[in-house]
Structure 1
Amino acid sequence: MSETVADHVLTRLREWDVEQVFAYPGDGINGLVTAFGAAGNKPRFVQTRHEEMAAFAAVGYAKLSGRPGVCMATSGPGAIHLLNGLYDAKLDHVPVVAIVGQTARSAMGGSYQQEVDLQALFKDVASEYLVEVNVPEQLPNALDRALRTAIAQRAPTALIIPADLQEETYHPPKHEFKHVPSSPPDHPRASVIPPSEEVARAAEVLNAGEKVAILIGQGARNAVTELREVAELTGAGIAKALLGKDVLPDDLPYVTGSIGLLGTRPTYEMMRDCDTLLIVGSNMPYAQFLPEFGQARAVQIDIDPRFLGLRYPTEVNLLGDAKGALQQLIPLLERKTERGWRERIEKRVGEWQETVTRQAMLDAEPVNPMRIVHELSERIPEDAIVTADSGSATNWYARNLRMRGRMRGTLSGTLATMGSGVPYAIGAKFAHPDRPVIALVGDGAMQMNGMAELLTIARYRELWADQRCVICVFHNGDLNQVTWELRAMGGAPKFEPSQSLPEVSYSDFALEIGLGGIAVDDPALLGDAWEVALSADVPTVLDVRCDPEVPPIPPHATFEQLKSMTEAVLKGEPDAWHLVTQGIKTKMQELLPSRR
């Protein structure tokens, strides 16, 4: 039989070394589904429970593999469902290619079933490259450009293939007018180096500073050795944006941890007091957590010129990749002999670690959510991958999980969408089937879509050499992050009809579908439960009943601000005094003397 257009799509994906496509079937991609069967399911069709989850899994795979993720959906509703995951890729700068079906060309414009204007629908999310393939000869160039653009621009792209075209015989483009050829798939790499005169200006700024602070993001991941050397020469501390949490380990004494609302006190104080700021590969949007404008002279390094000088009034902007730019900069830096600034940072980091430990060990009803991550951090393998969902659990991931070794971690950073934690974990297991994966997920996100994706884990787990995949559920019966936002930002008590969740046992559900399940409601049993889950030979749900009234208090919060929130809470909270007590106990840990 002759090769169809759909057959050639899969042939080309294999040539691009695409090993799996996260997808959900529908008649708009019947031709492609048939082609998967004819090709022996290579690349593998990974069937998620929902198209949005397919997109999220592709994002998680791309973030943690360094390779483009590919997702696929049918026309109309299937294509629509992809959007949230694709926006996650767009806002976090992740290469993902979406292949979507469309109604037959003969029916277009006729208000046909499931006909949606996909060009208009994807115009924003796939703004870097979006094309509808209407003749076979158009295909190789369109698919290759979608992948090349996704990789080069670190962005989602989309390819629309009408249902009838998928089943047509494939014809390659000819060497003639109005035909566009394409080259074989490749993976070109280049190091972008800023001009030497700009590097010299940056060195002058950093050498003149007495209190240097460094902020790194995910764009600094290829420059670990160089970052350590710059920190040593300048005597700087290094803060991490949330997407850059895994760039440097937290056992380095000058790494101050996360920045922002979910950040640490050492980071807050370092930004408050520094006189010089170096930003490397970060587009952290919350400028209020950076030094006061005019307080610090600033240098920024970024591969994308659109983000240079965007968050802080920088004096020197270096356009280039982090590793190459820092390698050019290091020989021009003078080692600072006065180390008082560094010593102060290291002292504050040590004190903060003690504070966070004390906060995690506070009694709660029944389990302190901070302790969940604290106990994990004590036991987590050094090659583990951690995904975190959006919600109050994100606070504890940001503050209580200490990165070390080869650990990786990620979450939905800029979009901060619920529901990404479990499909990210699935993507991580396909990216690294030989490494343990842990997802930290709130019960709201589990009820939204995480429970359904446990079925996906159960279905594909045998493909993973290392079966360890722990889904840890922060089971508090509350949409907790929004509840705290209502209290702190809106000055309003919890509104039960919108915030409370139906009761369900996540561990029992896991056991019913053939996974492991552990329920914990006693903090004394939590450490042992983690050890069992992390050594299990089957993916396991760790269902921990935790206290919704343990506050995610930002490190910069004052007692006056806490007083204002308390007054709001006392207006109508059903368990107001317990909530206030937990807040006071948590904040008081910052005032206790250090043992150092």
Structure 2
Amino acid sequence: MAERTGADLVVERLRAWRVPRVFGCPGEAIAPVVAALDRSGGDPEFVPARHEETAAFMASGHAKFTGGIGVCLATQGPSAVHLLNGLYDAKLDSKPMVAIVGEDITGPLGGAHEEIGLSRLFGDVCNQFVRYGRAPEQVPGVLDQAFRTAAATRSPTCVVLPREVQTAVVPDLLPQAAGVTSATPGEPLARVLPHDADLAAAASLLGAGGRLAILVGQGAHGAADEILTLADRLGAGVATSLLGKPVLDERLPFHTGVLGEVGSTAAAQLMGGCDTLLMVGTNDPWTDYYPMPGQARTIQIDIDGRRIGTRYPVDVPLVGDAGETLRALLDRVPDRSRRDWRRTVEGSVDRWREEAAARAGEPGEPVNPQLVLHQLSARMPRSAAVTVDVGSVIYWYARHLELPPGVTAQLCGTLGSTGCALPYAVAAKLARPDRPVIALAGDGAMQLNGLAELITVAHHWREWTDPRLVVLVLNNRDHSGTGEGRSPAGASARPPDVPYAGWARLLGLHGVRVDRPELVGAAWDEALAADRPSVLEAVVDPSVPLRPPEPALADLRGLFADGTAARLVRERMLDTGVAVEADDLV
């Protein structure tokens, strides 16, 4: 029987923490761990990516879609550097990850090939925990500490293992690794509830409000029933952050959509007209679209007290789990539904939906990109997972793709790094091979790393119960990201055109290209009915404007018919000094 090594201890600890797979790229300094994973019989599975950055995005995507801890590995030097983007994604979106990095320094420090100071390299992104394992007997303890820290802080951690530690024979006296008996990875380690006095103050504030708005973020996942009960009890309107978009059924008549520059006019109007704001599990950065300071009395629920008040002044902070905190609030909040305000919000939502449909129906050269997402809404599989890349596709996703209950979606919401959709999609599909996955990307993201990771898809898809992984590529031949036409640098800055659907077919996948608006629906039907993963390449118009909703004073125009807008604008004028004519309020 082969001798037990430090690398085998790594696999034992991963198995104890119920890690189903590890994403990474092999390299000399981490080769013993990769070899131990190969000997593990797929428990856990090693998933090689085409690049360390995409491996880290896969691990972050695994954490986002499963609620578990994502694990990635790399070797030293540039390989380790490439992990940073995915680790920062996890840090900024508060997801637990563990990076395992190998190091092989045999010469004097400061002169070795590929030598980088790993503690300093990961010191910011993994600021909660970066440790070296200096001896094989330290491996179990340091890995357990890394996993517990990642779970407790919802952030990435890093363990550096010298190659000699990975290859060292484990002393006979070192016992077999015991199972982990702590909380499920990724879940809160304790029940967190606000104090009764704070709950009473929040209930009083909600009961006194006249025009209530609820802003929902990713931290409200699992609390949809409580949010809807509270919204109905108070006659509130609801908006979401980008990350909070999948939490609620977007077809609800009082759901105004996503807030912010990428969002809807109705959400901006909701914030512009409310006098009471309840923020649930959100750290949405679009502060220009929040109510004016002093306009709304505010309650914020967040399990991490460090986030309270970072985006908007808070009157009542509630540090606690969203679902439990909302249930405690419901016991204290009376039924005081504001029907007039709810009707106002629903009217705003109706107007926005008509406007969004009209925008999707506008002509494009050759295809309006908004139409592509609009057509997907009616065809969305009810158990699908959606991944979204960075670029103009976020605008069309936020406004035109309604997510029904049962559909989950993830994006690089806070870091905003291009190239995440394909790695996320691979992670989502490996976690749930029985559910369809739809990745939304632009041509820039596909050229950055998506084309390479289609190789990973081609390698794995025959193992999937449901082979559907549809990659939408909005091919607008423009990487400027402005949504206002071609890059201002001219033709020399335009990206080369790539046959995205043709590349998929070369890999043995399905590919369909559409450049006529009347064929968009049929193209979606074909891609979703294919017996293998598909690339749907839509040739779209780069000059379709992004048209962010107007924040501040303009949000109120047309919202009220009873003079409330005029009064609110006068109040804002006192704070801003902006002169507004009466006709502007029509």
With the length of structure 1 as denominator, give the TM-score of the two structures: 0.89
The residue number in structure 2 matching 1:7 is 8
Change (3 A) 1:64 1:194: same
| Residues 79-117 of structure 1, C-alpha deviations (whole Å, 9 max, x = no match) | 11101111111111111111110114x436151111111
Distance 1:337 1:166 in 2: 63
How far 1:226 moved relative to its partner?
0.6
Q: Which amino acid aligns with 1:70?
A: V
Distance 1:192 1:415 in 2: 27
Distance 1:343 1:171 in 2: 72
Instruction: Give 1:302-317 correspondences, 5 Å limit.
Output: 302-317=302-317
Distance 1:443 1:47 in 2: 24
2:26 matched to 1:45?
Answer: no
How far 1:557 moved relative to its partner?
7.5
Q: Which amino acid aligns with 1:521?
A: D
Change (3 A) 1:185 1:29: farther
Distance 2:513 2:136 in 1: 54
Change (3 A) 1:172 1:384: farther
Q: CA RMSD in A?
A: 2.0
Change (3 A) 1:391 1:108: farther
How far 1:183 moved relative to its partner?
7.3
The residue number in structure 1 matching 2:560 is none
| Residues 224-282 of structure 1, C-alpha deviations (whole Å, 9 max, x = no match) | 11101110111111100000110001111111100000110111001001000000000
2:527 matched to 1:540?
Answer: no
Distance 1:172 1:153 in 2: 35
The residue number in structure 2 matching 1:83 is 84
The SS at the match of 2:148 is: helix
Q: Which amino acid aligns with 2:506?
A: E
How far 1:19 moved relative to its partner?
1.1
The residue number in structure 2 matching 1:99 is 100
| Residues 297-341 of structure 1, C-alpha deviations (whole Å, 9 max, x = no match) | 000000001100111111000010101111111111121244100
2:544 matched to 1:550?
Answer: yes
Unmatched segments (≥5 aa) in structure 2: 555-586
Change (3 A) 1:361 1:73: same
Distance 1:229 1:261 in 2: 28
Distance 1:193 1:172 in 2: 46
Distance 2:220 2:445 in 1: 30
Distance 1:368 1:268 in 2: 24
Distance 1:233 1:64 in 2: 31
How far 1:174 moved relative to its partner?
7.4
Instruction: Give 1:263-278 correspondences, 5 Å limit.
Output: 263-278=263-278
Instruction: Give 1:395-414 correspondences, 5 Å limit.
Output: 395-414=395-414
How far 1:182 moved relative to its partner?
8.5
Distance 1:52 1:472 in 2: 21
The SS at the match of 2:227 is: helix
2:321 matched to 1:327?
Answer: no
Distance 2:270 2:250 in 1: 16
The residue number in structure 2 matching 1:584 is none
The SS at the match of 2:193 is: coil
Greater shift after overlay, 332-341 or 234-243?
Answer: 332-341
Distance 1:170 1:346 in 2: 66
How far 1:500 moved relative to its partner?
1.1
Distance 1:326 1:156 in 2: 28
Q: Which amino acid aligns with 2:29?
A: G
Identity of aligned residues (%): 45
The SS at the match of 1:529 is: helix
Contact residue 389 and residue 440 of structure 1 kept, 8 A:
yes
How far 1:347 moved relative to its partner?
1.5
Distance 2:17 2:356 in 1: 46
The residue number in structure 1 matching 2:33 is 32
Q: Which amino acid aligns with 1:280?
A: V
Contact residue 520 and residue 526 of structure 1 kept, 8 A:
yes
The residue number in structure 2 matching 1:193 is 193
The residue number in structure 1 matching 2:514 is 520
Distance 1:68 1:120 in 2: 23
| Residues 417-460 of structure 1, C-alpha deviations (whole Å, 9 max, x = no match) | 00001111111111211111001100001011100000000001
Instruction: Give 1:131-280 correspondences, 5 Å limit.
Output: 131-171=131-171, 184-187=180-183, 189-280=189-280
The SS at the match of 1:341 is: helix
Instruction: Give 1:109-128 correspondences, 5 Å limit.
Output: 109-128=109-128
Distance 2:12 2:219 in 1: 32
How far 1:146 moved relative to its partner?
1.0
How far 1:170 moved relative to its partner?
2.3
The residue number in structure 2 matching 1:292 is 292
Contact residue 304 and residue 319 of structure 1 kept, 8 A:
yes
Distance 1:171 1:444 in 2: 52
| Residues 466-502 of structure 1, C-alpha deviations (whole Å, 9 max, x = no match) | 1000000000100142464xx9xxxx97222574110
Contact residue 289 and residue 551 of structure 2 kept, 8 A:
no
| Residues 117-136 of structure 1, C-alpha deviations (whole Å, 9 max, x = no match) | 10000000001111111111
Instruction: Give 1:55-70 correspondences, 5 Å limit.
Output: 55-70=56-71
The residue number in structure 2 matching 1:586 is none
Change (3 A) 1:464 1:226: same
How far 1:165 moved relative to its partner?
1.1
| Residues 168-196 of structure 1, C-alpha deviations (whole Å, 9 max, x = no match) | 01249979xxxxx9973532543211000
The SS at the match of 1:481 is: coil
How far 1:39 moved relative to its partner?
2.0
Contact residue 515 and residue 540 of structure 1 kept, 8 A:
yes
How far 1:41 moved relative to its partner?
3.8
Distance 1:339 1:430 in 2: 46
The residue number in structure 1 matching 2:435 is 435
Distance 1:557 1:475 in 2: 30
Distance 2:532 2:179 in 1: 43
Distance 1:27 1:16 in 2: 26
Change (3 A) 1:437 1:173: farther
How far 1:68 moved relative to its partner?
0.8
The residue number in structure 2 matching 1:423 is 423
The SS at the match of 2:481 is: helix
The residue number in structure 1 matching 2:17 is 16
User: How many pairs align?
Assistant: 549
Q: Which amino acid aligns with 1:316?
A: V
The residue number in structure 2 matching 1:368 is 368
Distance 2:515 2:248 in 1: 33
Change (3 A) 1:477 1:457: same
Greater shift after overlay, 341-350 or 188-197?
Answer: 188-197
The SS at the match of 1:36 is: helix
Contact residue 38 and residue 46 of structure 2 kept, 8 A:
no
Q: Which amino acid aligns with 1:459?
A: H
Distance 2:3 2:498 in 1: 52
How far 1:463 moved relative to its partner?
2.2
Contact residue 136 and residue 172 of structure 1 kept, 8 A:
no
The SS at the match of 2:221 is: helix
The SS at the match of 1:222 is: coil
The SS at the match of 1:219 is: helix
| Residues 379-420 of structure 1, C-alpha deviations (whole Å, 9 max, x = no match) | 111111111100011100111000102001111011100000
Distance 1:478 1:554 in 2: 19
Distance 1:234 1:536 in 2: 46
Contact residue 211 and residue 338 of structure 2 kept, 8 A:
no
Change (3 A) 1:226 1:504: same
Q: Which amino acid aligns with 1:207?
A: G
Contact residue 234 and residue 338 of structure 2 kept, 8 A:
no
